């Protein structure tokens, strides 16, 4: 059974810092991995999708990497802003489309 772990559970940084969120998974037989952002009381916003054959994806200040063999992914946020404060979830997807989510990292960026 796939298990997804996100570390740290919570992170507080001053504005402008670069930061890394970690996601690890136990079963490397994945189809792709997706990073989401969730604001309090809201649904999920997709940030980046990495196919299993890819090593990284970039979107603006966000960069996600994937090392399937070691079961790890990282989300790098450059020059953090208060508006980046949210919970970040990673989800590992099988080729059947099933997703297993981590518990998330709650990020607070202080002005």
Site string for other proteins, 59-98 (x = CB under 8 A): ------------------------------x-x-x-x-xx
CA distance linking residue 58 with residue 66, whole number of Å: 12
Pairing of strands 105-110, 10-14: parallel
CA angle 87, 69, 72 (to 5 degrees): 15
CB of 92 to other proteins, least distance (A): 11
CA atoms within 13 A on the CB side of 7: 4
Task: Using the minimum distance from each CB to other proteins, give the nearer residue, 32 or 65.
Answer: 32
CB of 27 to other proteins, least distance (A): 15
Interaction of residue 101 with other proteins, rule CB under 8 A: yes
CB of 59 to other proteins, least distance (A): 12
């Amino acid at each position: 059974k796939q298990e997804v772990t996100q570390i740290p559970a919570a992170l507080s940084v001053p504005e402008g810092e670069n930061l890394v969120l970690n996601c690890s998974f136990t079963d490397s037989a994945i189809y792709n991995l997706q990073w989401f952002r969730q604001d309090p009381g809201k649904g999920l916003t997709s940030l980046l999708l990495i196919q299993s054959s890819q090593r990284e994806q970039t979107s603006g200040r966000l960069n996600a990497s994937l090392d399937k063999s070691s079961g790890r992914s990282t989300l790098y946020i450059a020059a953090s802003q208060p508006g980046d404060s949210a919970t970040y979830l990673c989800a590992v997807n099988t080729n059947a489309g099933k997703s297993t989510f981590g518990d998330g990292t709650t990020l607070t960026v202080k002005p």
